[in-house]
Amino acid sequence: MHTGARAARPGSLTSLRAANHARVLAVLQASGARTQAELARATGLAQSTVSNIVRELAGSGAVSVNRVRRDGRTAQVVRLSRSVGLLAGIDVGHRHLTVGLADATYEILAHERIPLDADHRAGDCLAEAGRLLDTLVDRIGAARDEVIGIGMGLPAPIDSRTGEVGAPSILPGWVGVDAAALAGKSLGVAVEVDNDANLGALAEARWGAGRGARILAYLKLSDGVGAGLVVDGLLHRGPAGTAGEIGHTTIEEFGAVCRCGNRGCLETLVSTGAVLDLLVPRHGPHLTIADVVARARSGDAGCLRVLADTGRHIGIGVANLCNVFNPDRIVLGGELAGAGDLVVEPLHGALQRYGIPSAVRAVDIVIAALGDRSHLLGAVALGGQVAGQVIASFAGDLNPGEPDLQAMKD
C-alpha cells in the first residue's frame, strides 16, 4: 500500500473518495450531530455511501455513532469525536481579552475574560492569551496540543493582501503587525485573524439574529463603530479589509477630529465614548452605558435626549448603508444595542428620512441575539475554518491509495 493520498491528482479515484469523506466531516463540523439520512441529504451522497464513510470514520476514531429514539424510530446519530481536536477563539477588545475553548462542533467548553490596558503591545497581549489558553485547557482536562485551530478578532481592519493590522485601530500597539503570523508563532498553532465586527457578523449569521438572511450587515456599536458584511454566508472584506468601515463615513464635515484623522466621522458622534463624554459632566466619571440606559428608562431627560440623538445619527449611517449595500437584514450589536427601542426608534426616523424607500422597505432591523458572546463565537468559527483542513485530513488518512468504487456510482 502506498501513502500518496494527500498528493492525489484532482479528479483521481482517491481524491474523489477523500473529498466525499471531507464533505461528511465538514457537515458534521458545521452542524453538530446528524443522522445518516440527514448527512446524505446535506452532502448529496447516496445513503449507502454515507454509511460506508461513517463506518470508516468511526473506525479511525474521527466520529462516534450513537443509537437514539427519534419520532418513535431508532436512528444512528453521528458526531465528531473530541479526539478530532479543539478550537479556540480569542477576542481582543479595547479594554478586555476573552479566550474561549470549544469542541470541533463549536460547543464552548470553557471561557475566561480579563481586563486589558488599551495601550498594550501585541506581543504582551498574545502572551496573556497563551496563559489563558493553558488555564482553559487544564480546566477541561485536555492537552494544549489538542488545539488544532485558533481564530482571533481585533477591533481594526486587517489587510487581506499583507495580513497587516491597518489604521484606524483603537489598539495602537497592533497597527502594522502581521497579527496572524505573530499569533501563530506565539501560540504554536495556525491562527486566522479578522476584524471583530466581521466575526460578530459571522456568528450572528450562523447562530444568531442573522440566520436566514441572504445579504446581512452586522453593526458593532461600541468603543469603535464598524460593520461586518455577509453575502450568501460569506464575509465581504474587500482587498484592504476596510469593507464595512461605516464608523469612518463623514456625517459632519467640520465636526470633531476622529482617530482616523478625518473630521465628523459617524464614530465621533455615536461611539460609547462619545455618548459618555456628553453625560459625564452631569452624572460623574464612573457613568457606564448601562447606567445611561437605566437612567433614560427611569425618565432622565438628558440621557433620553443623548440616546435619541445617537439613534438618529446611527440612522443616517444605516440609511447610507441601505442605499449602497441594500441588505435584507441589519443586526445591531455592541453595548449601545442594549438601549433597544431608545436608539432603534429614532434610528428608524432617520432611516425613513435619508434612505431610498425601496431599500428601506427591503430591510429588517433587529437586535443581536448573541450579545457580548458574538465576537468570541465568531473567533471560534474562524478557528473552525483553520481546523477544517486538519479535520479534512482525517479523510485523507483512511486507507490511502485505495479507489472507492462505491462513491464513483453517485
Shortest distance (Å) from residue 266 CB to Zn ion: 8
Shortest distance (Å) from residue 201 CB to Zn ion: 20
In angstroms, the CA 322 to CA 353 distance is 12
Nearer to Zn ion, 265 or 379 (CB): 265
DSSP string, 237-304: --TTS-TT-GGGSBSSTTSPBPTTS-BSBHHHHHSHHHHHHHHHHHH-TT--HHHHHHHHHTT-HHHH
Nearest to residue 214, comparing CAs of 328, 321, 331, 323?
Answer: 328
Nearer to Zn ion, 13 or 260 (CB): 260
Nearer to Zn ion, 116 or 266 (CB): 266
Shortest distance (Å) from residue 264 CB to Zn ion: 8
Angle, alpha carbons 281-282-287 (nearest 5°): 80
In angstroms, the CA 152 to CA 184 distance is 11
**CA distances from residue 148 to 128, 194, 222, 380 in whole angstroms, order as listed:** 19, 18, 31, 11
Nearer to Zn ion, 65 or 260 (CB): 260
Find residue 150's DSSP bridge partners. 88, 191
All three cell numbers of 323, joined, read 442605499
The answer to whether 126 and 142 are in contact (CB under 8 A) is no
Nearer to Zn ion, 52 or 268 (CB): 268
User: Residue 30: helix, strand or coil by DSSP?
Assistant: helix
Shortest distance (Å) from residue 142 CB to Zn ion: 42
In angstroms, the CA 387 to CA 87 distance is 7
Give the x-and-dash track for 349-378 against Zn ion (CB under 5 A): ------------------------------
Residues in 242-301 that interact with Zn ion by CB under 5 A: 248, 258, 260, 262, 265
Residues in 64-123 that interact with Zn ion by CB under 5 A: none
Q: Under rule CB under 5 A, how many of the chain's residues touch Zn ion?
A: 5
Stretch that binds Zn ion, among 25-33, 58-66, 129-137, 241-249 (CB under 5 A): 241-249
In angstroms, the CA 59 to CA 42 distance is 22
Shortest distance (Å) from residue 167 CB to Zn ion: 10
- Please state, as a whole number, how many other Cβ atoms lie within 10 Å of the Cβ of residue 252: 13
Shortest distance (Å) from residue 252 CB to Zn ion: 11
Shortest distance (Å) from residue 230 CB to Zn ion: 23
The residues of the shown chain that bind Zn ion, judged by CB under 5 A, are 248, 258, 260, 262, 265
